[in-house]
Amino acid sequence: MSVNKLDATIITIGNELLIGQTIDTNSAWMAQELNNIGVWVHRRIAIGDIWKDIWQSLEEESKLSDIILITGGLGPTADDITKPLLCQYFGGKLVVDPDALANVKHIFEVFLKKPLLERNLKQAEVPDICTVIQNKRGTAPGMWFEKNGKIFISMPGVPHEMKGMMINNILPELQKRLQLPPILHRTLVTAGIGESFLAERIKDFESTLPANISLAYLPNYGMVKLRLTTRGNTPKMVAEMEAEFDMLKQQVSDVMVVDEDKSIQQVVADILLKKQQTLATAESCTGGFIAQMITAMNGSSKFYLGGVVAYSNDLKQKLLGVSSETLAKYGAVSRETVTEMAEGIRRLSDSDFAIATSGIMGPDGGTPEKPVGTVWVGMASRLEAEAHPYQFRFDRQRNIELTATYGLNTLRKFILD
């Protein structure tokens, strides 16, 4: 198979997705990976562990897509019916796969240290008409079927098991078999300008884009990513893409955070690593959210020293040295307090830079003078300190995330100055 464009559907099976128990993070990851090798996910479907619904979706989606990726429904409990269904759908019978059986036994002996149950042994059974994808990270094997020129791949729903199979088996195999033209993306990140104002500013650029290059607006927590996409990587296409991307960069240079597809925490990390400088945090209203954004990155200990979650005023004073006069006179949510917090953690940790937050995240705690969404972010270097006010609204979680994102972007500018 060598074609220019391949459409995929992702089918996610499991009642937990339909009752709101589980947020589907698998599909986004899969879509990203598939995109990178030139497969366009044009539909994503979530259905329950219901025979008729699964069957019907296989029928429908195989009419619309070339590749159908299925996750979930392969667990050891009675409600997991995907494997027998696939077996019947493709007209096979269940047989024990020796490698899958050895894997199940190995996992129980080495990791779980528990006796095997009959229902665990059943996980080593596969339809005899599929190619088995071994699961190095769990007990349920993956299955690769083909029918009428369409590819169907079934994987477990556990994220790290699915990811292991995708990376080690499925993506390389798809790439080898399909010889896809790669999808080229060039992405930049903007901050401090809304989608509609951005669109207005670059509308002339947008209207003169060549037909083979598309522009997407990807807003996320106060930032908007702009992404150019084309298919293929001939020198001519690459050159054309670069020229358009340069033009786009010029038009948004004043609001551009970075000219790559990177999170704001990664941008700050890269700057600090390059400068060989360090960071510490003092968080009140964000309650550790900034720290965990940073420490989620592998290697963050190279520039991040740590920090304080100074939720109570007592800890703000004791650990960070915020003066009781400042707290009494200006309150915890003030320019003065966040500045002292930033200076305090910087001194204490002897870091090069520090960021501090204090605000009213809601839904409670607002006053007429300081309504919900009132936020101060402070920052300090070895030489100076400054603070910036923000006014957000609504959701507690959204306010926390916006404070973290805006705060880190302000820190980026502070470090670069």
| CB of residue 294 to its own copies, shortest distance in Å | 7
Distance CA 136, CA 155 (A): 12
For its own copies, the closer of residues 129 and 175 by Cβ is: 175
41 binds its own copies (CB under 8 A): yes
Which contacts of 368-373 are long-range, i.e. CB under 8 A and separated by 24 or more positions? 370/331, 370/333, 372/399, 373/399
Residues 81-110 touching its own copies, rule: CB under 8 A, are: none
Distance CA 53, CA 72 (A): 14
Residues 392-411 touching its own copies, rule: CB under 8 A, are: 393-398, 400
Among 117, 167, 239, 273, binds its own copies (CB under 8 A): 117
223 binds its own copies (CB under 8 A): no
Bond into 210 cis (ω within 30): no
114 binds its own copies (CB under 8 A): yes
What lies within 8 Å, CB to CB, of 56 at 6+ separation is none
Say if CB 406 and CB 222 are below 8 A apart. yes
How big, in percent rounded to 5, are the helix, strand and coil portions of the chain? 45, 25, 30
How many amino acids of this chain bind its own copies (CB under 8 A)? 100
9: β partners: 43, 68
| CB of residue 91 to its own copies, shortest distance in Å | 26
305 binds its own copies (CB under 8 A): yes
168 binds its own copies (CB under 8 A): no
Say if CB 85 and CB 176 are below 8 A apart. no
For its own copies, the closer of residues 95 and 216 by Cβ is: 216
**DSSP class of 50:** -
225 binds its own copies (CB under 8 A): yes
User: Angle of helix 26-36 relative to helix 171-178, nearest 10 degrees?
Assistant: 30
120 binds its own copies (CB under 8 A): yes
Q: What is the dihedral of CA 363, 377, 301, 289, to 10 degrees?
A: 10
Q: Both tokens of residue 14?
A: 């499991």
Stretch near its own copies under the rule CB under 8 A, chosen from 29-37, 143-151, 231-239, 322-330: 29-37
192 binds its own copies (CB under 8 A): no
Stretch near its own copies under the rule CB under 8 A, chosen from 230-238, 239-247, 249-257, 305-313: 305-313
Q: Where are the alpha helices (DSSP H) in 143-287?
A: 159-165, 171-178, 195-201, 203-207, 235-251, 264-275
146 binds its own copies (CB under 8 A): no
| CB of residue 61 to its own copies, shortest distance in Å | 11
For its own copies, the closer of residues 233 and 301 by Cβ is: 301
Residues 257-286 touching its own copies, rule: CB under 8 A, are: 281, 283, 286
Residues 366-395 touching its own copies, rule: CB under 8 A, are: 393-395
Stretch near its own copies under the rule CB under 8 A, chosen from 21-29, 146-154, 172-180, 238-246: 21-29
